[in-house]
Chains A and B, each alone.
Chain A
Amino acid sequence: MTILIWIIQLFFVPVISPLIIGVIKKIKAKFQNRQGSSIFQFYKDLWKLMYKDEVVSKDASWIFLYAPFIIFTVTIAVGASIPLFASFLNGPTSDLLVIVYIMAISTFFLSLAGMDTGSAFGGFGSSREMTISALAEGGLIFSLLTVALVSSSTNVFIISGINILNHSQHLLSIMLAFIGFFIILLAETTRFPFDNPSTHLELTMIHEAMILEYSGKRLALMEWASANKLIIFIALGSNLFFPLGIAQNISWLALVIGIIVFLLKILFFSTIIAILESSVAKFRFFRLPDLLITSFILNVIAIVLIN
């Protein structure tokens, strides 16, 4: 039984993520008064890319060739370590700092891969990505620390297992930390106002710039990994800050409810992200650090308010 749950946990993130990307694109299209592509389009895109041949630059090294695998591995490993629909699981990789730093591995290799081909776009993308990432990491650790302090554990499963509403005296802290976390979510998953995931203009690219030189299978893996990262952050945001409906014990009913509630939460978040993307313009690059520092300060205030 537990094995089944672990298998579901392992495959949930990679399987569901393309769907969510499709949903976001559909909502944005509706806002723009278009039909938009079907919500399963991303699956078809991945399939198409897997069966294409690749072109690799002669300036690239093994880092370029293996970075997609490493990044995808990281997203799967982290995806299996965070509470999605069940909070009674526990694993040794579920520590908060471990999650943050394993995701830093993916940022590291992504930036290196962007620089590896020696194109101008890739280098700039890496530079901007690292600037944002360096500042976002502080905010991320602190927002997760807030909930960790409230539940006195840094194991994300345990944090999601406690009933946050019981700690209602900390409600303000949790809300502030959530706002901070949401800003980091937008930063790390390259959504508006940090980055435009559908652009290919040099002025506005960060993530897209780094994967510009990829093609075929590796491009599919990179895009899939990016979608996985979105789900991971949404999962962290919803289950750590609002763990209602998450399965607390092993029983079919609780699990099914858990999965349904999780899907609903994801849809809710995607709607918010889509609305945000349709109504806010992307910020100029040098305004982004201000936003990240704001998120960091909100988190610090949240921590101070705990006591």
Chain B
Amino acid sequence: MLEIITPSVSFFVLLSIFFIGAISSLIYQKNDSIANFLSSFFSIIGSLCGLFFSVSMIIYGKNLSFIINYPYSSFFKISFHIDLLSAFFIFIISLISLFCSIYGVGYLKHFYKKYSIGVFGFFYNLLIGSLLLVVTASNGIFFLIAWEIMSISSYFLVVYDRYDTDNIKAGFLYLIMTYVGTVFIILSFLFIYKYIGSFEFIDIKSGISLIPLSIKNNIFIFTIIGFGTKAGIIPFHIWLPAAHPAAPSHVSALMSGVMIKTGVYMMIRLFVDILQPIPVWWGILILIIGSISSLLGVLYALTEHDIKRLLAFHSIENIGIILLGLGSALIFYSLNMPELALLGLMASLFHTLNHAIFKSLLFLSAGSVINEMHTRNIEEYGGIIKYMPQTAMFFLIGSMAISALPPFNGFFSEWLTYQALFQGVAQLNLSFQGIFIIAASSLAFTGGLALTCFVKAFGIIFLARPRSTKVSSIKESPLSMRIGMGFLALMSILFGLFSGYTSRLLEKIGKDLSIFKDTNYFTSASFYQGIDIKNSFASVSAPIIFVVLIIIIFAVIFIFTFVINKNQKIKIENTWGCGLNLNKRAEITATGFARSIILVFKGILKPSIQNEVEYHDADSRYLPKSRVITIHVKNIYNYYFYQPLRNIINIISLKTKNIQSGNINAYISYIFISLIIALLSVL
């Protein structure tokens, strides 16, 4: 049966489902609910087909590649190459878009009558379709076309809620950053074309020795900037915290969970597959970028009080962790340790999958809350757990997963990343060991800080008393939204439990890349369905942890509730406030919660506090009428990177403005001089 599903026809069926969905929702845009139904229906069906397709490809283990010969040119062919890595990313895309689309059925209802749902459905399906094209394209020009379609459709989705001007600005910033990245990608492809003479990935791979090393280094830098802008590494991440809050929630989930991973996909494709052999310093640079991104991402997340900006910064942090795995893989491979490289790649891929799942879950549940509260500021939330218990549960599962608490899936991918880094510390000599120690310490601190941030987020949003009166009027989210979130939470638990089996599959996927063809496995399936590192350095077993915890907790609850003092009475009273009635001002605020740790890191975050007082009587200055306290955190990437860049560009522009003097004679003299120069250089 697997044979029927895998040939190229099924892939085109898959793509066409999304395009049909796009066109049909556009056609029926006059009627909101029909457009919603059509777009959701086709994206759900398409995602399911994508899931079947990718799972059968991974289990079947065969690659797929086909070319449509576009008759007009020699360098542009519509060619696809789906190996197991692409199939894995198709799996991630389909999984997340499935649940986001289910969620969207209920979520879009509050956009009815306000905006055109048909247009939304068009761009949404187009986005998912182009995501599939991006991870399977095998020709440089075709890849760039798919990349552009993806960027543009996501831009339109980001500015969908256009009555809010902040969203327009955010979308504009996103568009600029995407195009800056695309420029660098085009540059690198052009460089490759100059030396290889073809845009086909297969040709590039076989002819890689034609490119001299200095050009290869340039290509590396351009590619890092280009794909890093999409993935959101510091300092090219500035669009992420602006664009993710602006988009509708399930689009944010899709963008954060899947779209930024395409940057990671291309980095893996280029650095691990196509551009090999590579010098060691590439891996070191990626490792350093990963460390910086993860630390700064989580530190800035701590300062945020807009729930979606907070989640966007956590995406940056997790991309940093993924890059830690990738960087270690590259370093190991360049130092001739392919087994460890496979381990690092496995860790990176597993974390990609896990992050997609739990980040989407967090965005969806945050979206449900925002939907009801109509504000993104968490300082106005509080006590929501009593009104939206299931959403709170899903957010809790997402928080536990992202903070890498066992037995959820985040822990196991971070465990694998730690193992890759520990092996590096154990086995390498001093110069590389230092880099790995830095990487491991950034991972350790990131884990702790992420835990802090999610305690703050979950606690402020859901627990204690409401901080504004809007809370009392909210209700639990509609069923479709809860189904979407619930399944993602279930996926989170399942991928945690079956992490052993998943890492088997990931090893198989990693081995499919040609450089790893002859590598032995560094991990093996242990007796308890866990992951074992070779040389019995470490092992972990997910089901056992889960079972142990569940058994003990049930035993504890049983003993202490039913055996000891079973006649105990529990009285419900107000919280003790030293005799006063506690109002909403008595509880901890998000600003207060995070202030301690921001002050600990004040070298990086540069917090500042300003006091303005207005007195009743300006002369006597005893009785203040109002006080305004501004608490501010400086964004160092803005201050040290973008501000100087802006100033330089402004200065250069002002100087070059003088060329355009408006004087005809000047223009003709430009022509004359350039004519003479051209003639001189040609002759």
Q: Do chains A and B directly touch (beta carbons under 8 Å) in the complex?
A: yes
| Contact surface of A with B, Cβ cutoff 8 Å | 50-59, 61-63, 66, 69-70, 72-74, 76-77, 91-93, 95-98, 101-102, 104-105, 107-108, 111-112, 115-120, 122-124, 126-128, 130-131, 133-138, 141-142, 145, 148-149, 152-155, 158, 213, 216-217, 221, 285-286, 289, 296, 300, 303-304, 307
Report the Cα distance A73→B556, complex, angstroms: 7
Which residues of B are found within 8 Å of A51, using beta-carbon distances?
Answer: 565, 568
Contact of B572 (CB < 8 Å), options: A56, A120, A137, A213:
A56
Contact of B455 (CB < 8 Å), options: A56, A92, A119, A126:
A126
Q: Are A213 and B576 in contact (CB under 8 A)?
A: yes
> Would you list which residues of chain B between 578 and 623 have a CB under 8 Å from chain A?
582, 586-588, 592-597, 599-600
Q: Are B592 and A127 in contact (CB under 8 A)?
A: yes
Q: Are B537 and A126 in contact (CB under 8 A)?
A: no
- 15 CB contacts below 8 A, A to B, read A51-B565, A54-B570, A57-B573, A69-B560, A93-B545, A115-B464, A116-B464, A117-B575, A118-B575, A123-B464, A135-B448, A141-B444, A153-B538, A158-B536, A296-B441
Q: Are B599 and A112 in contact (CB under 8 A)?
A: no
Q: Is the interface of A mostly helix, strand, loop or mixed?
A: helix
Report the Cα distance A101→B410, complex, angstroms: 11
Which residues of B are found within 8 Å of A153, using beta-carbon distances?
Answer: 536-538
B382, B404, B537, B594 — most chain A CB neighbours (10 Å): B537
Which residues of A are found within 8 Å of B536, using beta-carbon distances?
Answer: 153, 155, 158
Q: Are A134 and B570 in contact (CB under 8 A)?
A: no
Residue of A nearest to B569 (CB): A53
Contact of A115 (CB < 8 Å), options: B429, B454, B588:
B588
Residue of A nearest to B421 (CB): A145
Q: Are B571 and A130 in contact (CB under 8 A)?
A: no
Q: Are A133 and B571 in contact (CB under 8 A)?
A: no
Report the minimal beta-carbon distance from A108 to chain B, rounded to whole angstroms. Answer: 6
Which residues of B are found within 8 Å of A145, using beta-carbon distances?
Answer: 422, 425, 440
The verdict on A131 contacting B587 (CB below 8 Å), with A95-B538, A118-B464 known, is: no
| Contact surface of B with A, Cβ cutoff 8 Å | 382-383, 385-386, 392, 400, 403-406, 411, 415, 418, 422, 425-426, 429-430, 433-434, 437, 440-441, 444-445, 447-449, 451-452, 454-456, 458-460, 462-465, 526, 528, 530, 535-541, 544-545, 548-549, 552-553, 556-557, 560, 564-565, 568-577, 582, 586-588, 592-597, 599-600
Report the Cα distance A66→B46, complex, angstroms: 41
Report the Cα distance A138→B565, complex, angstroms: 41
Residue of A nearest to B436 (CB): A303
Report the minimal beta-carbon distance from B568 to chain A, rounded to whole angstroms. Answer: 6
Which residues of A are found within 8 Å of B426, using beta-carbon distances?
Answer: 149, 152
Report the Cα distance A257→B497, complex, angstroms: 39
Q: Are A61 and B568 in contact (CB under 8 A)?
A: no
Report the minimal beta-carbon distance from B118 to chain A, rounded to whole angstroms. Answer: 41
The verdict on A300 contacting B575 (CB below 8 Å), with A95-B540, A135-B600, A153-B536 known, is: no
Which residues of B are found within 8 Å of A112, using beta-carbon distances?
Answer: 455, 458-459, 463
How many CB-defined contacts (below 8 Å) exist between A and B? 251
Report the minimal beta-carbon distance from A79 to chain B, rounded to whole angstroms. Answer: 10
Report the Cα distance A271→B435, complex, angstroms: 40
Contact of A102 (CB < 8 Å), options: B406, B430, B539:
B406
Report the Cα distance A84→B661, complex, angstroms: 85
Q: Are B448 and A137 in contact (CB under 8 A)?
A: yes
The verdict on A118 contacting B456 (CB below 8 Å), with A56-B573, A137-B448 known, is: no
Residue of B nearest to A117 (CB): B575
Contact of B597 (CB < 8 Å), options: A58, A91, A130:
A130
Contact of A289 (CB < 8 Å), options: B418, B544, B600:
B600
Q: Are A115 and B441 in contact (CB under 8 A)?
A: no
Q: Are A55 and B571 in contact (CB under 8 A)?
A: yes
Report the Cα distance A61→B451, complex, angstroms: 20
Which residues of A are found within 8 Å of B535, using beta-carbon distances?
Answer: 152
Residue of B nearest to A51 (CB): B565
Contact of B596 (CB < 8 Å), options: A102, A118, A213, A285:
A285
Contact of A134 (CB < 8 Å), options: B392, B445, B595:
B445
Q: Are A131 and B596 in contact (CB under 8 A)?
A: yes
Report the Cα distance A141→B568, complex, angstroms: 41
Residue of A nearest to B442 (CB): A138
Report the minimal beta-carbon distance from B96 to chain A, rounded to whole angstroms. Answer: 25
Which residues of B are found within 8 Å of A70, using beta-carbon distances?
Answer: 553
Q: Are A104 and B444 in contact (CB under 8 A)?
A: no
Report the Cα distance A55→B564, complex, angstroms: 17
Which residues of B are found within 8 Å of A285, using beta-carbon distances?
Answer: 596
Which residues of A are found within 8 Å of B383, using beta-carbon distances?
Answer: 59, 118
Given contacts A73-B556, A135-B445, 6 further A-B pairs with CB under 8 A are A56-B573, A58-B573, A77-B549, A108-B405, A130-B456, A155-B539
